[in-house]
Amino acid sequence: MNTTSNNHFWKKDKEHFIHPYTDYATFKDEGSQVISKADGNYIYDSNGHKMLDGIAGLWCANIGHGRKDMADAIHQQITKMQYYNPFGHTTNEPAAELASKLAEISPGNLNHVFYTCGGSTANDIALRLVHYYNNLRGKPNKKKIISRNYGYHGSTYFAANLTGIHGTKDCFDQIAQDLVSHISAADMYRRPAGAENLTEQEYCNFLAAELENRIQQLGADNVAAFIAEPIMGAGGVLVAPEGYHRRCWEICKKHDVLFIADEVVTAFGRLGEWVASKEIFDYQPDILIVAKGINSGYVPLGAAILSSDIYDVISKPQSDGGVLSLGFTYSGHATACAAALKNFEIIEEENILENVRNLGPVLQDGAKELLTNPIVGDVRGKGFMLGIDLVSNKDTKEPLNVASRVFTKCMERGLVIRPIVNLIVISPPLTLTENDVQALLQIVNESIEEVYQEVS
Ligand code: PLP
């Protein structure tokens, strides 16, 4: 997408910036679209083209872009104390305040916060701590992690291992592969063999049985944790059958397996609640992984929030006279934490969770109307998390890999969506108005229709 070839940022970027998740078949010629400005629910490219941000940056700009109140809070913290060493017995005011706030809004006894720099590092740290926890409990063999195909858990070495979008690992090495075991995704639309004609309840039982069988095959004494997103994001906006997470959680409890909820996308309002696991899906994670919406992406921050049961075991000297030896220079970064506190204040003051509860159904129901288009096979999601699955044949559900064409047409009409092969992902700022939702739906509808006309 070379809309800015005369722009010197475009050239410098193309020559020097190794972008995450970039298609090098086209990047070296086309470079990138430079986004120069972001304001509220809109972004602007370097040609001044204004677009509704249908993906909140990357599932993160929950309170919208470029807010002065947020900038003031960040400025205030920087001029007071931008950062100080968090190691050992030193802390800072925003990190302490935020840890207490996170404990308050996290369900049950999720009372202890380990700060990281994003979601991948939060998953990595969680897994190191889970292994440490089992070592200290005298269960040194209890180390394997069950994850799911199509789950996305990040891009550090171990988080990539957890990730079940296996194509992303082609030609890369993997470490400690024997520690991770993947089971089926909870995919209502494209189900595994043998599950095609089951009712929703039967399918839930089928998936739960797969988890339990896998724990038994590996040996419960060898399985440390199960990790799952409440709704799979990057893997396809996959909404599990009713009761699935609760059943998996019960199985985990039965076998002394920790349940890690990766809520990097879903926490802090995307589904209309602070935390989706308990409020929406009725289970109590042992570890909650958060990032992105924690401060709406204004400053990088993530966290692994641990139960008191885990904390009680790990909060001991690592060895005689030793310290718990893991952490980052930027764990509990004062400015990032101050941004998170301001983010929560804004969400509360502006009733942003209510906005998602009110407009989520408008977005989801409106999108369901796209199903009349012959290339729209499935529309799924919840709150402000939406996936539109494009197919060449509704009976066979054969994926139609034209999402990038829809993306281009949406962009021309003033909307950014995220194309993933045959899937259109929509995850807008939680501050969208009803007019924004209607405009978004209209643009998506027109763009899909135009692509349909081209391919039929
Ligand atoms: N977990 C989930 C569910 C995610 O969606 C992501 C990123 O999209 C991550 C983890 C990784 O987070 P980060 O990119 O901040 O490392």
Is ligand 1 within 6 A of the CB of residue 164?
Answer: no
- Residue 3 neighbours by CB under 8 Å, 6+ apart: 33, 45, 47, 49
What pLDDT sits at residue 322?
79
- Greater model confidence, 12 or 322: 12
| Residues 196-224, mean pLDDT to the nearest whole number | 98
Output the CA 302–ligand 1 centroid distance in Å.
Answer: 9
CA nearest ligand 1 atom 13, residue: 119
Confidence of residue 2 (pLDDT cuts 50, 70, 90): very low
The type of residue at 345 is E
Percentage of the residues of the chain whose pLDDT score is greater than 70? 99
In this predicted structure, the answer to whether residue 182 has a pLDDT above a threshold of 90 is yes
pLDDT at 195: 94
Hey, how many other C-beta atoms are within 10 angstroms of the C-beta on 365? 11
Q: Note the Cα 307 to chain centre separation in Å.
A: 21
Are 373 and 112 in contact, with CB atoms under 8 Å apart?
no
CA of 5 to the centre of ligand 1 (A): 31
pLDDT of 6 reads 59
pLDDT of residue 175: 86
151 lines ligand 1 (CB under 6 A): no
Which two tokens mark 260? 């890690």
What pLDDT score was predicted for residue 318?
Answer: 80
Distance in Å, CA 7 to ligand 1 centroid = 31
The residue-averaged pLDDT of 412-441 equals 98
- Does the Cβ of 154 fall within 6 Å of ligand 1? yes
> What distance in angstroms lies between residue 179's CA and the mean position of ligand 1's atoms?
20
Q: Quick one: pLDDT at residue 316?
A: 87
CA of 152 to the centre of ligand 1 (A): 7
Strands 385-393 and 376-382: antiparallel
Report pLDDT digits (tens) over 271-292: 999 999 999 999 999 999 999 9
Is the predicted pLDDT of residue 1 greater than 50, yes or no? no
For residue range 28-74, list pLDDT tens digits in order: 999 999 999 999 999 999 999 999 999 999 999 999 999 999 999 99
ipTM of the complex: 0.99
Residue type at 436 in one-letter notation: D
Confidence of residue 4 (pLDDT cuts 50, 70, 90): very low
Nearest C-alpha neighbor of 262 from the set 231, 295, 308:
231
**Ligand 1 contact via 162 beta carbon (within 6 Å):** no
- C-alpha 263/C-alpha 430 separation (Å) is 16
Complete edge-to-edge strand list for the sheet that includes strand 50-53:
35-39, 42-45, 50-53, 415-416
pLDDT tens digits for range 335-356: 999 999 999 999 999 999 999 9
Question: Is the beta carbon of 57 within 6 A of some atom in ligand 1?
Answer: no
- CA-nearest of 286, 155, 290 to 224 is 286
CB 111 within 8 A of CB 307: yes
Ligand 1 mean position, distance from CA 105 (Å): 21
Indicate whether residue 42 lines ligand 1 (CB < 6 A): no
Q: Are strands 287-290 and 258-262 parallel, antiparallel or unpaired?
A: parallel
Average pLDDT, the chain: 96
Q: For residue 293, is pLDDT > 70?
A: yes
Residue with tokens 């992105």: 292
Both tokens of 235, joined, read 């893997």
Question: Ligand 1: does its nearest atom lie under 6 Å from the Cβ of 147?
Answer: no
Give the full edge-to-edge strand order of the sheet including 287-290. 110-116, 302-307, 287-290, 258-262, 223-228, 144-148, 180-183
Q: Strand 423-426 and strand 385-393: pairing?
A: antiparallel
Pocket test for ligand 1, best of 124, 265, 271, 287 (most atoms within 8 A of CB): 265
* Cβ-count burial 237-253 (b if 16+ within 10 Å, e if not): bbbbbebbbbbbbebbe
Pocket of ligand 1, candidates 115, 120, 420: which has the most ligand atoms within 8 Å of its Cβ, to mutate?
120
Confidence of residue 132 (pLDDT cuts 50, 70, 90): very high
Q: How far apart are the first and last CA of the chain?
A: 24
State if residue 264 touches ligand 1 by the CB under 6 angstroms criterion. Answer: yes
Q: Which two tokens stand for residue 43?
A: 């972004």
Burial 377-395 (b: 16+ CB within 10 A, else e): bbbbbbbbbbbbbbbbeee
Cα 384 from Cα 364, distance rounded (Å)? 8
Report CA-CA distances (Å) from 165 to 23, 97, 99, 455: 16, 36, 32, 28
Is the distance from the beta carbon of residue 119 to the nearest atom of ligand 1 less than 6 Å?
Answer: yes
Place of tokens 């349940």: 259
Q: What angle is formed at CA 98 by the lines to CA 66 and CA 316, rounded to 5 degrees?
A: 140
* In the predicted structure, residue 75 carries a pLDDT above the cut 90: yes
CA of 233 to the centre of ligand 1 (A): 9
Cβ 265 under 6 angstroms from ligand 1: yes
pLDDT at 325 over 80: yes
Q: Whose CA is nearest to atom 12 of ligand 1?
A: 119
- Which atom of ligand 1 lies nearest, measured to the CA of 154? 11
Section 415-435 average pLDDT: 98
pTM above 0.90, yes or no: yes
The Å distance, Cα 119 to ligand 1 centre, comes to 5
pLDDT at residue number 428: 98
- Ligand 1 pocket residue status of 41, Cβ below 6 Å: no
Nearest ligand 1 atom to the CA of 262 is 3
Minimal CA–CA distance to 448: which of 392, 407, 401? 407
